[in-house]
Amino acid sequence: MENSIVRVEHLSHRYSVHWAIKDISFEIAENGVVGLLGSNGAGKSTTMNIICGVLNQTEGNVFINGINLREDSVEAKKYIGFLPQQPPLYTDLTVGEYLKHSAFLRLMPAEEVPRAVERALERCAITHFRDRLIKNLSGGYQQRVGIAQAIVHNPKFVVLDEPTNGLDPNQIVDIRNLIREIAEEHAVLLSTHILSEVQAICDDIKMIEHGRLVFSGSMEDFDNYIAPESFVIKLGRAPGKAVLASLCENKGVEELEPGCFRIYFKEDSGITEKYIEASEANDWELRDLVVERCSLDEIFAQLSGKTKNME
């Protein structure tokens, strides 16, 4: 990949005798949002911890901006910003004090710290909370402070572990918008379990199951994995099941309740349009039509079948 900021080569990690991840390789471009997906215990945190230099891998290499993280971790870490799942907030500090402290921890030269703190406050829209104690902020604003500490040293690579976990719907939208803004200038790697989050903010997807990388591609490629396979149609004057089944090539029709059917299809070559047209032509009184997609859990289940035999 041209202009990659992260290169992961044949990464494997073993806790005692158990391999948590095995032979993972990928690259991450200089900007955009990469979603790291996987079910519980798949190996996401292990991978993120190694990439952030928090955990030493058993095998393989990680290069951040061309620097081998293991050989020169102090230099490589200058390019990394990390928001762990539990933000490392000192809640008795004010927002300004905490960000200053975070900048010093990142070994920023003292003269650059005030400007860096201002910039992080502005980018995360928390300038007006500079003198507020962190413990007196709402969950959404505490999360913004967590993101601000991750970007205070203006890293090229920002890692966010489930950044919208526990937030209310409005806060989730705000944080997603903030992540998209950050990704205009930085590479962002985020882990999530939420399919709508992936679709809303990710440009690329890496999926790990049973410690193996089972998918790596663009959001568009990922859409093929979650292509819809069924839709539910509600009709006021429904014909019999057999009539609906005969309309197009499908994998079966299930009557859920009177007038409400789930239709399973093989490929989406305008199948819903055909049912809409038939409803109009035959006066079936179309009330509703909803296309159904697999949940992430179902996708994980499908993909994990391919990777169960890791030694």
Ligand X SMILES: Nc1ncnc2c1ncn2[C@@H]1O[C@H](COP(=O)(O)OP(=O)(O)OP(=O)(O)O)[C@@H](O)[C@H]1O
Residue 224 interacting with ligand X (CB under 6 A): no
φ and ψ of 211, to 5 deg: 80, 0
Query: Residue 173 to residues 24, 50, 82, 121: CA-CA distances in angstroms?
Result: 32, 29, 21, 19
Cβ proximity to ligand X: between 45 and 154 the closer is 45
Residue 17 interacting with ligand X (CB under 6 A): no
Binding piece for ligand X, criterion CB under 6 A, among 15-23, 104-112, 271-279, 283-291:
15-23
Cβ proximity to ligand X: between 44 and 106 the closer is 44
Q: Quick one: tokens of 45?
A: 């945190």
Cβ 207 to ligand X shortest distance, Å: 11
Cβ 24 to ligand X shortest distance, Å: 11
Residue 38 interacting with ligand X (CB under 6 A): yes
Please list the residues that pair with 216 across neighbouring strands. Answer: 206
Cβ 147 to ligand X shortest distance, Å: 20
CB atoms within 10 A of CB 206: 24
3-state secondary structure of 79: coil
Write the DSSP assignment of 234-260 as a string of letters.
Answer: EETT---HHHHHHSS-EEEEEEEETTE
Query: Residue 188 to residues 38, 78, 132, 256: CA-CA distances in angstroms?
Result: 17, 15, 28, 43
Cβ 296 to ligand X shortest distance, Å: 12
Cβ 161 to ligand X shortest distance, Å: 8
Residue 3 interacting with ligand X (CB under 6 A): no
Residues of this chain, 40-69, that bind ligand X according to CB under 6 A: 40-46
Cβ proximity to ligand X: between 127 and 304 the closer is 304
Q: Which residues contact 286 (CB under 8 A, 6 or more apart)?
A: 233, 234, 235, 236, 276, 279, 280
Quick note: the x/- pattern for ligand X over 76-105, rule CB under 6 A, is: ------------------------------
Count of residues engaged in binding ligand X, rule: CB under 6 A: 11
Cβ proximity to ligand X: between 15 and 264 the closer is 15
CB 196 within 8 A of CB 169: no
Residue 35 interacting with ligand X (CB under 6 A): no
Residue 5 interacting with ligand X (CB under 6 A): no
Query: Residue 274 to residues 6, 172, 247: CA-CA distances in angstroms?
Result: 47, 37, 8
Cβ 218 to ligand X shortest distance, Å: 22
CB atoms within 10 A of CB 114: 12
Cβ proximity to ligand X: between 46 and 65 the closer is 46
Residues of this chain, 154-193, that bind ligand X according to CB under 6 A: none
Instruction: Kindly provide the b/e burial profile for residues 21-56, where b requires at least 16 CB atoms within 10 angstroms of the residue's own CB.
Output: bbebebbbebbbbbbbbbbeebbbbbbbbbbbbebe
Q: For binding to ligand X (CB under 6 A), which residues are involved?
A: 15, 18, 20, 38, 40-46
